[in-house]
Amino acid sequence: LYTREDVRRLVLIRRLSNAGVPIGEVAKASLAELERISENTISEQRAADAVKKRPESIHLVIIGNSLATLGAPAAAGERELDVVLRCADVRSAEEELSGRPVDIVVLECPTVHDGTDRLVADAMSTLGARGAIVVYGFGARAALNTLRRGGVVTMRSPLDSSELRRAALGLMEELSAAPRPPEEATGTVAGDVPPPRFTQDMVARIVGSSPSIKCECPHHLAQIVMGLRAFEQYCAECESSSPEDAELHRYLKGVTGRSRAAFEEALARLAEAEGIYLRD
């Protein structure tokens, strides 16, 4: 009853209808027109599927004047690296970002020393970056280890664009695999935690004092502050075997630091009430 062309035409009408093309647009079309519409529809679907499957770009901010560009476009299946901004310093980048998302901040640091970890943490916090890469010229081993324990990638300059690209892709893969801390625990970088308010000698002075009130609260508070300071330092120095461990210890250090600051405030009020002199 039906010719081969009839069957082909019906197959194409069903295929296009299943693809979302209104039946009224194809019911009366000729076989040649149906072939053309089918080819166009398949091409559009393939393009749409390719966009859906394409991984999201990684957004970077590069701080430094002499860092390499990221060079060639991404290979097939590889995430694109989108350099959102290049700036000479963090404050300028903050002003120019205008709320654009940042995944990784790449910082050029001629030297790495004690305190560089705080500068990196401040840059991440200011720009809202999840990770950091430090490209350095010279650095103290202890300072470099502190950065690495905190999950920061360190790379010796000079380096070419392919090395920087691989480092950014590798770091983003680690960040994507690592569990994020609870929502209330975000923002636990070093820059958010107040520095210690009292020296060890000042706290020891309270421990050795004779309280006038009928309790040991000054002694207990002083011991809590000393314990928190010790644990805060332990978290900063603790060796981490993986990015997950590094993130966890960074989180613990932040929580402990804020707890220590709260107890120091309580200790200051108690010392004032007791007439304990807290000055070096």
Count other Cβ atoms within 10 Å, centred on residue 117: 24
Mean pLDDT, residues 214-219 taken together = 70
User: Model-level pTM?
Assistant: 0.46
Average pLDDT, the chain: 77
| Whether the predicted pLDDT of 93 surpasses 80 | yes
Is residue 38 very low, low, confident or very high in pLDDT (cuts 50, 70, 90)?
A: confident
Is residue 53 very low, low, confident or very high in pLDDT (cuts 50, 70, 90)?
A: low
Mean pLDDT, residues 118-131 taken together = 88
pLDDT digits (tens, 9 = 90+) for 126-162: 888 889 999 998 988 888 988 988 889 998 888 777 7
